[in-house]
Structure 1
Amino acid sequence: MPSSAWQVTVLGLAHLTGPGDTVLELDRKTAGVLAYLAVEGSAPRSRLAGYLWPESREETARNNLAQLLRKLRLAAGEDLVPGSSTGLLRLADGMRTDACDAREAYLLGQYEAFVAHDPLLLAGQDYDDCPEFDDWLVAERERWMEWHRAALRELSAQAETRGHLDEALRWALQALTADPVSEGMFVRVMTLQYLCGQRLQALQTFERCQTMLQVEFGVEPLRQTSELAQTIARSTAAPRPSESGSPLPLTVLRPPRLIGRADQWQQLQQAFEARQVMFLTGEPGSGKSRLALDFASSVGTVMHLQARPGDQDVPYATLTRHARHLLQTTSPDRMPDWARQELAGLVPELAGATTKAQESNGETRLRLYRAFLELMRAAAPDCRAFVMDDLQFADQASQEALLYVLANRPQGDFPALLAVAREGELATPTHERLDALIGTGLAVNCAVAPLSDEAIQEFLGSLEVPEVQHLAADLARYTRGNPLFILETLKHIMQTDGYLNASLGYFTLPKRVGVLIEQRLKRLSPTALQVAQAAAVLQSDFDLDVVSEVLNQPIFTLIPVWEELERAQVFDRDRFTHDIVYESVRNSLPGGVWQALHRSAARTLERHGAAPARVARHWLEGARPAAAVPFLRSAAQQAEQRYLLWEAAQTYAQLTDLLNQLQDQPAAFDALDAQAETLINLQDADGLAAVVSRLQNSAVTLAQQVAARVRHCFLLFLCGDQPALLQASEEGLAWAREAGDLKAEASFLEGIAYVDIIRGGGVRAREAFTRMLEVGQACGDTELQAKSHEGLGMVIRNNRPLVLEHYRQAALLHEQNGNISSFAAASGKRAWLQYEVGDVHGALQIFEHAHRRLNEVREGHDSVKLINAWGRSTCLQALGHYAAALEVPTGALAISSGRDAGSTGWRRVLELQRGRVLLELGCSQEALSAIQGAIAAPEYIQNIRSRGMISLGQALLAVGQLSEARQVFSQAETLLDPENGPYYWTQVQLGQAQLLPAEQQLAVFESLLDLAQRKTLPHLSLAVQIRRAQALMALDLPAAERDLEGDAAAHGVLSFGEVLLTRYRVARRNASPDAAARLHALTEWVTRTAQDQVPAQHRASFWSFNPAARVVHEAQPALSHIRITRG
């Protein structure tokens, strides 16, 4: 094995690294030998032996050294320290050392590479027993530390020269850490903090300096240091020379303090103390960002997260940049594994041994949002405020994620949240969500208005430029109080006419202030202007490498040009200093140049693997629409794969228009058809109607006419127009058979079957679904097979095992195909059947699995999600988990957009379900109000109206409105069939029986028991036996305890409490030895439920009005401290 494969590390913890990343730990004296040779190059054996074994005789010391080197050779399998005829020891030829690499980097001025090395030689090692070696090591350590401090100071100075003040401050802070007793470094950090707008931190740094000098040296700071602190405290500029090439005063480059913002500051302070989200709005240049950052800095360290122009083209572009920014200062190890895995879809480098990048079936929307919130939580210990700037530039997907963060700000010591956006430039959905957030009191809106005339006068005074003080009135009239425009006007005056004592009337100024920036751009060198224009074309996330490729210029020739742009305050590292500057650069481009640069940008970004939507935009702007087509198609498909369905629909619409312009009718029709499919998945009936009309008008071939008819049938289905759907499906079936289009034939058969089911038939539907299954198998179309299985499950009667198997097959195929919405729908049908036959636990498991998969669908499919929430809540209620049963509908309603067809009706169903839970908790009047409101709404889902009527009847019974309850139960009875729906029929009959005398109830119960036994439904038998036992006790007749055995939940028919209470009362009436055990079981369930399963705000009602809870309270003296209301 060649020796060059080994590397010795002596800076930091000493070790050897060999082939295959083999690491050898070094003992203290071996580390000393290698470090000495790495630093000094060579040494006589006698010197090293004497240094490391000073107590031994020379011969013994040399033998010890020889043994040490022999052990090293055996461990490495290589002679890493060969001897020589001269008696000198040196490291093997070609063997690398970190000390040599670091020293070379320092001498070549590669300071960033140098400081990446640990500055402490042989860290963790102590050589007090080797005095001469220890003296050498102390001297070397001091030399390396001085190099480290000097490199950090130089890096800070270089960054400041380039205008990178934030970077300069970062290096200065590291230099201060390396030299904590240097007053000079404290002064440099204070100065840079102030220049970066961190006034509070600068004053805190001065206090630390005072403390250090007093503790370490017993002295006060130098006069110059104290004067600098006083200057900062007065918010005046730090005394440093202006940048090379810039004649402008520092106060004009960055005004020293906020003026005219006292009211807004007070509003932000109140919001901060109330732990509200702060939303700042105003016109461009009004000082929103400066206000947000200054206020945030006043409470502590700030994390500044910015959206940029061009982000709108690429889903999650803004969120990805924010995540990378946070990860620069936050270790991923602070985050839970699941959060790292979710964010790996945006930041692939997070995928490691315990994480993996997202699969192509799309990010889970809520899990992604929560993961980003976890990243912010991980960064929280290092900052006191997050500022989300320029929200109007963020893409829609990122806006939704950031809105989630704003709406779900963690409690406790979490940093303040400030969001900044231009007034009137947010997308309508985002604006509405923010308004709703403000309406709830979770956020406040802080409007940043133009400066008043008085504030402008004060603003000019704060700049400490006497020559411009008299211009306040003219500036007010010309700029209308816009702070950025005021500064741009002053820069124009100072750079073109000097400090002249004249009013603005003596100057020839353009009609709009934006032109001032354009005139400033003209003073740039030609190459600098070209670089700025190329960056403006790229819009966001540009850097020197990409810009040099776009311009086809060697990168080294553009480095000084980049620095020129930073000095001119056009660039701030990899972004424009302000979006108005970007817009001015954009406006400076002639049309032909603009298009040429876009074409070059498209080619460059394609090589770099940029998002397809971004590449497509550049081809379009470059007047090459045909080149944009494959990228737009890829962008739409990518959005679909990531479940960004609205973005997919919009991209397909853009692609359709483009293909029409290119007169490619077949491709345009296909794109429009793909848009229709996306809108169907979104259940957007209004949007689909417009697209279907275009499909019908543009169809030319027979195949296209059939495809348009298929989409028209889907539209009629979404609109609930059954007669029209049946007619269109029958007509379409003939067209499909003429065209020989089997898949279209299946779609029309599905429409015919749907109408037949709604009308209460079934024979025609079963024939249609059977034929659909044959077509699906013939075509190998597993999605069509899944639909067919699902349909057959809906129409087969009196064969529960076969129905369950059809639903299971449908769900399995849908899931394998990645059709999450259809999978959830089929799973829901299977789960409801499980519930109705008594398997509540099994039903809940199915609903929960579907819920987890539905979380992957970022948008749309609200109806399916609401139906799933209804099922989960119903199962949780049946199991006595009341808090969770209330939480599920509340959460589902909160995230439902209400935009898809039918979702409004299912929202009503969830409101009714909430009322059902409240009824069991004893909140009868509140429950009745919720149930009545839901079922009375015209949009309530009619094909489950009978279930709503049953719940309404039960609520009316609970509040004593018996005649109304009788009427409602009678209406529900007319909607039900005991043979096809024994579960709900039994519920109606049990409700009606409560309105009858006990003697008449018994006859009802005998009929229900016969039905339950015929249908083999033991859970219904148990529910009937419970009510029968109550009637028998009311008649003072014996009730058999053995008839009441079974699952206490009665499998969703009666509540836990009613079953347990009846068992106890029967046992007590019969003087059964089991009475005490029955009471114990009842007491345990009531107390555990009240403590763990009942929300705190409903606990009093539960104890006061739930019959089981009241009995337990009266029977158990230990519960006498609970106050209940009689009623």
Structure 2
Amino acid sequence: MQLQLSREPRLVGPDGTVHVLAPLDGALLAWLAIEGPTPRARLADLLWPGKDEPGARNSLRQRLFQLHRRLEVALVEGSATLALARGVAHDLEEADSVLGEASVEGLPPGEFTQWLALQRARRHSRLRTALAELADMAEAAHDWNDAVMHARELISLDPLSEDAHRRLMRLHYLSGDRAAALLAFDACERMLKDEVGAAPSDETLALLRTLEAAGSSAALPVAVARTPVALKRPPRLVGRGAAWDTLLTSWQSGRVAVITGEGGMGKSRLLADFTRARSGDTAGLVVCGARPGDERVPYASFSRLLRALPAEIVQAAPASARRELARLLPEWGEPSRAAAGEPDEERRVRLFNAAAAVLGGGMDRGPGLIFDDLHFIDAASLELLGYVIGARPHHWILATRRAEAPPALQAWLGELGASEQVDVVALLPLASQEVAELVDSLELPGTGAVETATQLWQHSGGNPLLVLELVKAAWLPDGPERRAVGVNLQRLVGDRIARLSPLAVRLARCAAIAAPDFSIRLAAQVLGVRSIELADAYAELEAAQVLADDAFVHDLIHDAARASVPLPVARELHAEVARHLEGQACEPARIAHHWERARCWPEAGRAFRAAARRSGDLGRAHEQGTLLADAARCFELGQCVNEQFESVIERASVLCDQMLFQPARAALEQAKGLARPGEQALRVMSAQAELLNLSCELDAAVELAEQGLPAARRAGREDLELRFAVSAATALAELRRAPDAVALLQPYAALAQRQTDPSQRWLYWHSLGLCLDYAGRLKESLPAWEASCEIAAAHERDDLRWQSFSCMAATWSKLGQLRKAIDLYATAEQLARDVEAGAPRQWMMTAMRAHRLRDLGDLAAALPLLDEALQVFTREQMPVECASVEHRLAQLYQQLGQPERAMRLLSVERPNLPPGLRTMRQVHRADVAGDMGHDGLPMLREALLQLPDPDDIYHRMATLFATRWVPAEEGEALAIDLARWAHARERLGLALAAHVRAASCALSRDAADRAAPHAEAALSLADEYRPDSFYFPELWLVAARVAGALGRPDLAERHVADAMRWIRETCRVPAPFRTSFLERNPVNSALVLLDSERGRRRPRAAAPDTA
């Protein structure tokens, strides 16, 4: 048996049968093949670094068992120490690589990945040494063809090696091909600019000067006349002095520069020369650009920029930022996971902040960043680029064709141009005398006459690229006479390609159709030839200055080459290219483009759907919806009705998630027209019910879901029946018909348990928990939450589990079990961080935990958490969450004896809040106004009228606050009714607070006998429960006063002692607020006074613990 581990891992059996191995199995076997026998525990830790020791050992045991069962042969043997089984051979002894050159996706992160990189590097080094020796031997023998071949192999092995590029330059020069040597320098310079972000070294530039000083070499036997080097790269930059000066000033002042001009004006040449001149000015220089085809792939352009970053900047970036950006660049490691249901905006914010962190860090001021051909940028990259430039505005240079920019880019450029921090550098056509200067600089015989330059200027309009193309056309052996001719660029390039050999013409057409995914490998497959057979054809295209480094020398040349391909040929080529790219892990959006151009509609539709999934994974919901519309259109053209339906209904779901209700309705109407009776029609109904829920058309949602329930039941579709039940119950709960919602959902427990999709089972128990909670059946909701947690844990769905823990914590809070709630919130926060659920969601839970910490007396811990939560929600522009945190902070400041700070928070206007939150904001303002000595009662009464429903929790919380300020008779009645209501709904913390207020109001009416049972009830509840949004020592203050009124001073003293012990020992207070906490908190000041009056022999209220 032979293991093939140098490329894609596979096993070749004795009979020649080939078994492809999974990446993880390949990793295990490659380690044993190279490192030899290894302890089992060491292997388990290496391959499963994220698990604890028992979990890792179990995973290894299961992996070996499954491998043996699938292959029916043992590849690994041993117990405590594992090794390759006897008789198993492998190919890694002399191989040039290990597990191929693919990315490490699917392989264990951490130590194994580092080991694999080291193994690959060692083998590459060995191969480089061998190739260099072969090239040296061929050079010594003056076998230039063989020497050049080995030099090209060195570049293929290590494209970023400047030494390899310089070797090729030297060999071309020594072989007498000076032009090829200069082209090799151009390729080297472009590589350093695009991939490394650096300028050529002094050694390379010295070699270039030798080439430029050398005379023209003798003609070589190539298929076409060689283009003069001066035409390939004019020796001087003509007519751009003012632009250079503006660019230099902008760069030196750290501003953003935008170079604009139509195609061929020399933007890229200006950038190249400026980059070479300024390469030592910053901590690094990153040069890249957008390319044709980027517009179809979200983040394609920005991903290219990130790949161009120097390694030291990437390594200096925070690990969390690298994980986030690994969603775009898999080679950066294991990407972060988006939580289920996480809004696209949260994912977008995390991605944007990560990009800003990477580009702004790693060096003192970050690298200089130059971005060319901005007009090809995709919409997602444009948004990200704008964000990053706003966060890091220094040393940016952008170049674009303004007239060809899409509307979004036009608008953004307009905003940039209006900024005082941006310089716009407009490149205009050359004047007549500048064209003459350019032609003179070429030093070509017969081109320097004034009349020739005038003709060139007239026919080119001063476009530098067209000037050079016209001159180049005159130099072709069978071209027009050596004078300017009135033809356009497309015609010139078409004529130039037509003069090439047949294979070179085919190669040029293939490249034109395949760009930007063109490669020699692709061309060989599409054209049906071996790669080596394309060498001469490629050399022709390089010499004709059509291609360089697998790309067209200019996108205008690409446009002209593409236009030269006859339409029937283009369609066939598009289909061939698409077939090749499907096996190359290419971006599906580009594959879809090729199938669409080939008019292969079903294939195009499937590729567009794959592209939509990719956009969804990146949080680009807008592009996802557009791509699904493209898929539906292609399926319609291909008469694939079922696939069209699937695309349309998926698009409706995406639009719903974006809250784009009108287009979602339109999509569902289209789906309804396509749906077959039965299952598809039911799916449309279910989606419509969910849409009605989201758009708060709750009555209509209930009606439609109730229609769908029996229809799904008749069709035998239990999954759809469950979805209808959840939709109806959700709407009923929001309509304050929670008992009806519970009655509807509870019978579906067995059906939910039969669902194979764990997320369906989780959704049922999660929804039931919410409905029971809304119905006031709090203890009954706990088993539902626990069931949802167990389902999520069993399937390792932490993205669901944290949501269950968070909701369960809220239920325990309502039950008065605040300590348990705090622990659950902390667990939920940790799980949310692990799945990177997004900062806003994490801070929602943190704010709730801080709220409960405050109620338990840990004010020192709660204050900074609430402060930071408010900053996060303010930054993320989340007004509802801001209001919630402000209310909790206001109560905290009241307890600290700082009502003025509380009022400042509540004075911020928050329009368009939900009714309950709007009412509570007014209640809090009234309560704080009372603490400040103002009359807040009218405001409080107005707030109570806003939510008159006595079963509304916001109404009930408002009545608790009202009991402080309304007349005692009214307050007692409100408190007694609230206590009764809270007991009936298991809100025992709220019941405790209501009993305290009932006792206080009764005592104010000199009715100590009526106050006593309420005080006793509150004290009894306090043994197990704690109140919500209520200052706990008020319990002991009221109980002490009741005991005193009943003639029980000893009991009163015990209550005061308990209160003071809590204030001194349990409560933690931020140091700056110690005095106001004791003296300006009305409950504390009253307790301190009582404590003093009881004649206790100790200092007045020792300071509480501080943070």
TM-score in same-fold range (> 0.5): yes
Q: 3-state DSSP class of the match of 2:397?
A: strand
CA contact (8 A) 2:1040 2:1056 kept: no
CA shift for structure 1 position 107: 0.7
Return the alpha-carbon distance in structure 2 between the equivalents of residues 509 and 107 of structure 1.
Answer: 51
Q: TM-score, normalised by structure 1?
A: 0.65
CA shift for structure 1 position 605: 2.0
Amino acid at match of 1:807: W
CA shift for structure 1 position 586: 1.2
Q: Which residue of 2 aligns with 1:942?
A: 915
Identity, in percent, stands at 20
Q: 3-state DSSP class of the match of 1:259?
A: coil
1:985-1017: CA deviations, max 9, x gaps? Answer: 457644773688999999667369767966964
Alpha carbons of structure 1 residues 458 and 1041: separation in structure 2 relative to 1, 3 Å: farther
Determine if the alignment matches structure 1 residue 269 to structure 2 residue 249.
Answer: yes
Q: 3-state DSSP class of the match of 1:386?
A: strand
Return the alpha-carbon distance in structure 2 between the equivalents of residues 450 and 763 of structure 1.
Answer: 74
1:966-995: CA deviations, max 9, x gaps? Answer: 41464147638888749x845764477368
Amino acid at match of 2:542: E
Determine if the alignment matches structure 1 residue 736 to structure 2 residue 690.
Answer: no
Return the alpha-carbon distance in structure 1 between the equivalents of residues 835 and 418 of structure 2.
Answer: 29
Q: 3-state DSSP class of the match of 2:371?
A: strand
Q: Which residue of 2 aligns with 1:559?
A: 535
Q: Which residue of 1 aligns with 2:1000?
A: 1006
Amino acid at match of 1:547: A
Return the alpha-carbon distance in structure 1 between the equivalents of residues 891 and 716 of structure 2.
Answer: 56
Q: Which residue of 2 aligns with 1:540?
A: 516
Amino acid at match of 2:278: V
Amino acid at match of 2:1058: R
Return the alpha-carbon distance in structure 1 between the equivalents of residues 842 and 741 of structure 2.
Answer: 26
Determine if the alignment matches structure 1 residue 310 to structure 2 residue 304.
Answer: no
Q: Which residue of 2 aligns with 1:655?
A: 631
Alpha carbons of structure 1 residues 974 and 339: separation in structure 2 relative to 1, 3 Å: closer
Q: Does 742-751 or 847-856 show the bigger shift?
A: 847-856
CA shift for structure 1 position 767: 1.1
Return the alpha-carbon distance in structure 1 between the equivalents of residues 547 and 339 of structure 2.
Answer: 37
Q: 3-state DSSP class of the match of 2:370?
A: strand
- Aligned to 1:975, which of 911, 930, 947? 947
CA shift for structure 1 position 764: 0.9
Structure 2 unaligned spans of 5+: 1-30, 37-125, 140-146, 155-162, 194-199, 220-224, 973-995, 1002-1013, 1046-1051
Q: 3-state DSSP class of the match of 2:1033?
A: helix
Determine if the alignment matches structure 1 residue 807 to structure 2 residue 778.
Answer: no
Determine if the alignment matches structure 1 residue 450 to structure 2 residue 414.
Answer: no
Amino acid at match of 2:666: A
CA contact (8 A) 2:601 2:634 kept: yes
Amino acid at match of 1:793: G
Amino acid at match of 1:165: F
1:160-191: CA deviations, max 9, x gaps? Answer: 52613255469999xxxxxxxxxx99586157
CA contact (8 A) 1:1023 1:1050 kept: no
Return the alpha-carbon distance in structure 1 between the equivalents of residues 507 and 829 of structure 2.
Answer: 55
Alpha carbons of structure 1 residues 971 and 591: separation in structure 2 relative to 1, 3 Å: same
Q: Which residue of 2 aligns with 1:161?
A: 181
Return the alpha-carbon distance in structure 2 between the equivalents of residues 475 and 992 of structure 1.
Answer: 92
Alpha carbons of structure 1 residues 687 and 242: separation in structure 2 relative to 1, 3 Å: farther
Determine if the alignment matches structure 1 residue 910 to structure 2 residue 904.
Answer: no
Return the alpha-carbon distance in structure 1 between the equivalents of residues 463 and 451 of structure 2.
Answer: 18
1:1051-1078: CA deviations, max 9, x gaps? Answer: 99xx987756648756864456775784
Alpha carbons of structure 1 residues 435 and 879: separation in structure 2 relative to 1, 3 Å: farther
Amino acid at match of 1:1006: S
- Aligned to 1:299, which of 275, 278, 290? 278
Q: Which residue of 1 aligns with 2:579?
A: 603
CA contact (8 A) 2:919 2:947 kept: yes
Q: Does 788-797 or 964-973 show the bigger shift?
A: 964-973
Alpha carbons of structure 1 residues 326 and 358: separation in structure 2 relative to 1, 3 Å: farther
Structure 1 unaligned spans of 5+: 1-17, 24-95, 118-145, 174-183, 195-224, 229-236, 897-905, 1086-1127
Q: 3-state DSSP class of the match of 2:694?
A: helix
CA shift for structure 1 position 370: 6.0
Amino acid at match of 1:1025: P
CA contact (8 A) 2:257 2:425 kept: no
Q: Which residue of 2 aligns with 1:389?
A: 372
CA contact (8 A) 1:912 1:934 kept: no
Amino acid at match of 1:509: G
CA contact (8 A) 1:280 1:288 kept: yes
Determine if the alignment matches structure 1 residue 284 to structure 2 residue 263.
Answer: yes
Return the alpha-carbon distance in structure 2 between the equivalents of residues 996 and 397 of structure 1.
Answer: 61
Q: Which residue of 2 aligns with 1:1079?
A: 1103
Return the alpha-carbon distance in structure 2 between the equivalents of residues 588 and 753 of structure 1.
Answer: 62
Return the alpha-carbon distance in structure 2 between the equivalents of residues 818 and 392 of structure 1.
Answer: 44
CA contact (8 A) 1:300 1:384 kept: no
CA shift for structure 1 position 818: 8.6
Q: Which residue of 2 aligns with 1:250?
A: 230
Q: Does 965-974 or 924-933 show the bigger shift?
A: 924-933
Determine if the alignment matches structure 1 residue 756 to structure 2 residue 732.
Answer: yes
Amino acid at match of 2:686: V
Q: 3-state DSSP class of the match of 2:1103?
A: helix
CA contact (8 A) 2:732 2:738 kept: yes
CA contact (8 A) 1:390 1:420 kept: yes
Q: Which residue of 2 aligns with 1:207?
A: none
Amino acid at match of 1:948: R
Q: Does 750-759 or 1055-1064 show the bigger shift?
A: 1055-1064
Determine if the alignment matches structure 1 residue 722 to structure 2 residue 674.
Answer: no
CA contact (8 A) 2:693 2:731 kept: no
Amino acid at match of 1:672: V
Q: 3-state DSSP class of the match of 1:163?
A: helix
Return the alpha-carbon distance in structure 2 between the equivalents of residues 738 and 594 of structure 1.
Answer: 52
CA contact (8 A) 1:191 1:238 kept: no
Return the alpha-carbon distance in structure 2 between the equivalents of residues 291 and 185 of structure 1.
Answer: 20
CA contact (8 A) 2:825 2:846 kept: no
1:78-121: CA deviations, max 9, x gaps? Answer: xxxxxxxxxxxxxxxxxx9998886445213558979999xxxx
Determine if the alignment matches structure 1 residue 993 to structure 2 residue 964.
Answer: yes
CA contact (8 A) 1:259 1:455 kept: no
Alpha carbons of structure 1 residues 712 and 585: separation in structure 2 relative to 1, 3 Å: same
CA shift for structure 1 position 525: 3.9
Return the alpha-carbon distance in structure 2 between the equivalents of residues 433 and 930 of structure 1.
Answer: 36
Amino acid at match of 2:921: G
Q: Which residue of 2 aligns with 1:141?
A: none
Determine if the alignment matches structure 1 residue 789 to structure 2 residue 819.
Answer: no
Aligned 1:510-909 pairs, distance under 5 A: 510=487, 513-640=489-616, 644-796=620-772, 797-810=775-788, 813=791, 826-834=804-812, 837=816, 838-839=818-819, 841-842=822-823, 844-846=825-827, 848-849=829-830, 851-852=832-833, 855=836, 885-888=866-869, 890-891=871-872, 907-909=879-881
Return the alpha-carbon distance in structure 1 between the equivalents of residues 791 and 479 of structure 2.
Answer: 77
CA contact (8 A) 2:886 2:905 kept: yes
CA shift for structure 1 position 672: 2.0
Amino acid at match of 1:1079: A
Determine if the alignment matches structure 1 residue 106 to structure 2 residue 136.
Answer: yes
Determine if the alignment matches structure 1 residue 1018 to structure 2 residue 1026.
Answer: yes
Aligned 1:87-126 pairs, distance under 5 A: 103-109=133-139
Amino acid at match of 2:556: I
CA contact (8 A) 1:345 1:357 kept: yes
Cα RMSD between the aligned structures?
5.6
1:854-895: CA deviations, max 9, x gaps? Answer: 7468xxxx9978966875886799765656645545545656
Return the alpha-carbon distance in structure 2 between the equivalents of residues 1073 and 669 of structure 1.
Answer: 83
Q: Which residue of 2 aligns with 1:409?
A: 392
Q: Does 630-639 or 595-604 show the bigger shift?
A: 630-639
Alpha carbons of structure 1 residues 1018 and 383: separation in structure 2 relative to 1, 3 Å: closer
CA shift for structure 1 position 593: 1.0
Alpha carbons of structure 1 residues 347 and 665: separation in structure 2 relative to 1, 3 Å: closer
Q: TM-score, normalised by structure 2?
A: 0.66
CA contact (8 A) 2:893 2:901 kept: no
Q: Which residue of 2 aligns with 1:1040?
A: 1056
